[in-house]
Structure 1
Amino acid sequence: MPVPSPSPVVVGVTGTSASLAAVRLAAREAVSRGRELRIVHAFTWSHPRLDQHYDRARRAASQVVDAAVATAQRSTPGVRVQGQLVDGLPDQVLLRLSRSAEMVVLGDDDLATLPWLPTGSVLVQTVARAWCPVLVARGPRPQAGPILAAVDGSDCSLLGLRQAAVEGARRNVGVVVAHVVEQPGPAAEAAGREILERAVEAVPELVDYQLRLLTGAPAAAIVRASARARVTVLGPRGTNDVGLLGSVARAVLRRAASPTLFAHGPSVPSPAPRLPQLSGQSGLS
Structure 2
Amino acid sequence: MTGTSAGLAAVRLAAREAVSRGRELRIVHAFTWSLPRLDQHYDRARRTASQVVDAAVATAQRSTPGVRVQGQLVDGPADRLLVRLSRTAELLVLGDDGLATLPWLPSGSVLVQTVARAWCPVLVSRGPRPQAGPILAAVDGSRCSLLGLRQAAEEGARRNVGVVVAHVVERPGPAAEAAGREILARSVEAVPELVDYRVRLLAGAPAATLVRASGRARVTVLGPRGEHDAGLLGSVARAVLRQAAGPTLFAHGSSVPAPRTPVARPDPSPALAP
TM over 0.5: yes
Question: In 2, Cα distance between the equivalents of 1:140 and 1:280?
Answer: 35
Structure 1 alignment gaps of length 5 or more: 1-12
Which residue is equivalent to 2:72? 84
Which residue is equivalent to 2:269? 282
2:22 is the counterpart of 1:34: yes
Which residue is equivalent to 1:200? 188
Which residue is equivalent to 1:231? 219
Query: How far does residue 50 in structure 1 lie from its aligned partner after superposition?
Result: 3.0
Aligned residues of 2:150 and 2:257 also touching (Cα < 8 A): no
Which residue is equivalent to 1:263? 251
Which residue is equivalent to 1:118? 106
Which residue is equivalent to 1:8? none
Instruction: Give the aligned residue type for 2:254.
Output: P
Aligned residues of 2:211 and 2:239 also touching (Cα < 8 A): yes
Which residue is equivalent to 1:183? 171
Structure 2 alignment gaps of length 5 or more: none
Q: What percentage of aligned pairs have identical amino acids?
A: 84
2:85 is the counterpart of 1:102: no
2:144 is the counterpart of 1:164: no
Aligned residues of 1:108 and 1:123 also touching (Cα < 8 A): yes
Question: In 2, Cα distance between the equivalents of 1:280 and 1:137?
Answer: 31
Aligned residues of 1:42 and 1:86 also touching (Cα < 8 A): yes
Aligned residues of 1:156 and 1:267 also touching (Cα < 8 A): no
| Cα distance per residue 1:103-138 (max 9 Å; x no partner) | 000000110110110000000000000000000001
Structure 1 residue runs of 4 or more that deviate by more than 4 Å after TM superposition: none
Query: How far does residue 266 in structure 1 lie from its aligned partner after superposition?
Result: 1.5
Query: How far does residue 267 in structure 1 lie from its aligned partner after superposition?
Result: 3.6
Aligned residues of 2:198 and 2:267 also touching (Cα < 8 A): no
For the residue of structure 1 that corresponds to 2:194, the secondary structure is coil
Aligned residues of 1:175 and 1:208 also touching (Cα < 8 A): yes
Which residue is equivalent to 2:61? 73
| Cα distance per residue 1:43-92 (max 9 Å; x no partner) | 01124433111000000000000000000000000000000000000001
Instruction: Give the aligned residue type for 1:211.
Output: V
| Cα distance per residue 1:19-48 (max 9 Å; x no partner) | 000000000000000000000000011244
* Aligned partner of 1:155 among 138, 143, 155: 143
Question: In 2, Cα distance between the equivalents of 1:57 and 1:258?
Answer: 33
* Aligned partner of 2:198 among 182, 205, 210: 210
Aligned residues of 1:22 and 1:105 also touching (Cα < 8 A): yes
RMSD: 1.7
